Structure 1
Amino acid sequence: MASVKPAVPFDELFAGVPVMAILRGMPVDKTLELAARAWDLGIECVEVPVQDEAAGQVLAAVVAAGAERGKPVGAGTVTSAERLGRAVAAGAAFTVAPGLDPDVVRAGVAAGLPHLPGVATPTDVQAARALGLTWLKAFPASVLGVDWFRAMRGPFPEVPLVATGGIDAGNAAAYLAAGARVVAVGSALEDPAQLPLLAGLLHR
């Protein structure tokens, strides 16, 4: 049996860098360009969703580019064993999902990949913690609102949350101030002005 490479924990992946770039649904050249720009600006973590085979190929290309720089690249929208297989085949450093699926969590653990599941309620948070997960993705953050993050700090002060969904350079700081440890920005990156503005959060 092939050995599983040691997973890099989210504490290390997100250390000192409260921004993650989500590069979804773009051609490989555009995705590579944005990933390189993010890395140049100090945004260490990049996620590429893998909804289909073509996206898996894009992920593999970004993983290869990241490896040359020592940058971790994760696979997003990992909601099934098939998508987890794409993530593993591409060499992803971690997986992300919009919700919590215990089967996907267990398969990811077996593959040696840390998993960031989506949560939206205290019940979700408790269920994820019971599965041994530490970092959690609050999704959709813009619907939950900044007050949700403040409320979660009461019962779950030890749980680091990644705010995802509807985040951009205009509201990211508010989510971080409300208790999110990291903000993940996706569709807003279609605007080329976003990455430099988001990079400004690294130095606050």
Structure 2
Amino acid sequence: MRPHPTTPLLDLLRSRRLLAIVRGSDPDAALRAIEVLAEEGVTMMEVSLSGADALTVVRKAAAALGTGAGGPGVHLGAGTVLTARDATAARDAGATFIVTPGLGAGVTEAIRLGLPVLAGALTPTEVIAAVEQGAAAVKLFPASAGGVPYLRALRDPFPAVPFVPVGGVGLDSVQEYLEAGAIAVGLGSPLLGDAANGGDLSELRRRVRTALDLVGPR
């Protein structure tokens, strides 16, 4: 395969190494969780469209945090983007990158719109397809299906592909994935806990500090 092209999203993932995934049943709590993440130094976040009123959360968070692609500050993306309509709505709400669980119309439309994509893939065939479609990086999902050994096995035929494991990655496995060659990790409930549902923000702060220590200097 040809070498993977460098993009602003790829550079960010490599330098920040942590993508926080926010999915909540309470839009106001999700927004408060995003603000806490930013206060504690998390600069890459994904708001899953499967959460309650997620586009409003993206819109309010983008306005509050002054997000932008490729520059300083917080970079806010939309996740669980499945359709072309999802991609357009996420862009209009202020998302600066797109995350998908697999390959489909959401990937195609996001790339057409000029949005960088972290595209979900699991099998070698899907990895090849994600790269050919122009994904900035490949979201290995669900990472728990094969764990760290599977990531190592995939990197043998795809040494130039930037992988970001998501799904089943816990605080106790962050370093293992990074040592196995992941450029970053995506953390959802192991990082957020119940904060995006109205839960404990002090515990969220504690977990964020642990996670940032694990991924190392940014």
- Return the TM-score normalized by structure 1: 0.88
Rate the CA distance shift 1:176–1:52 in 2: closer, same or farther, 3 A.
Answer: closer
Match of 1:115 among 114, 117, 122: 117
| 2:43 aligned residue | 44
Q: Does the residue aligned with 1:117 lie in a helix, a strand or coil?
A: strand
Q: After superposition, where does 1:88-99 map in structure 2 within 5 Å?
A: 88-99=91-102
Q: After superposition, where does 1:150-189 map in structure 2 within 5 Å?
A: 150-188=152-190, 189=192
Mapped partners of 1:201, 1:27: distance in 2: 29
Give the letter for the 2:8 counterpart.
P
Give the letter for the 1:164 counterpart.
V
Cα deviation for residue 196 of structure 1 reads: 1.5
Cα deviation for residue 141 of structure 1 reads: 0.8
Q: Which segment is superposed worse, 92-101 or 80-89? A: 80-89
* 1:141 and 2:154 matched: no
| 2:199 aligned residue | none
| 2:130 aligned residue | 128
Q: Does the residue aligned with 2:103 lie in a helix, a strand or coil?
A: coil
Match of 1:80 among 80, 83, 101: 83
Cα deviation for residue 53 of structure 1 reads: 7.4
| 1:4 aligned residue | none
> Cα deviations across residues 152-188 of structure 1 (Å, max 9, x unaligned)?
1111111111110012211111111111111111112
> Cα deviations across residues 34-79 of structure 1 (Å, max 9, x unaligned)?
2222223332100001137711111111122221683110000000
Segments of 5+ residues of structure 1 without an aligned counterpart are 1-7
Mapped partners of 1:145, 1:202: distance in 2: 18
Note the aligned Cα RMSD (angstroms).
2.0
Give the letter for the 1:194 counterpart.
R
Rate the CA distance shift 1:52–1:145 in 2: closer, same or farther, 3 A.
Answer: closer
* 1:54 and 2:53 matched: yes
| 1:203 aligned residue | 216
Mapped partners of 2:51, 2:85: distance in 1: 9
Rate the CA distance shift 1:96–1:48 in 2: closer, same or farther, 3 A.
Answer: same
| 1:16 aligned residue | 15
Q: Does the residue aligned with 2:74 lie in a helix, a strand or coil?
A: coil
Give the letter for the 1:116 counterpart.
L
Mapped partners of 1:58, 1:162: distance in 2: 24
Q: Does the residue aligned with 2:53 lie in a helix, a strand or coil?
A: helix
Q: Does the residue aligned with 1:79 lie in a helix, a strand or coil?
A: coil
Residues 119, 138 of structure 1: 8 Å contact kept: yes
Mapped partners of 2:181, 2:89: distance in 1: 32
Give the letter for the 1:172 counterpart.
V
> Cα deviations across residues 57-112 of structure 1 (Å, max 9, x unaligned)?
111111222216831100000001221122012110101111111x3222112212
Mapped partners of 1:76, 1:66: distance in 2: 18
Mapped partners of 1:200, 1:26: distance in 2: 28
Q: Which segment is superposed worse, 82-91 or 61-70? A: 61-70
Mapped partners of 1:198, 1:60: distance in 2: 26
Residues 66, 73 of structure 2: 8 Å contact kept: yes
Mapped partners of 2:172, 2:207: distance in 1: 9
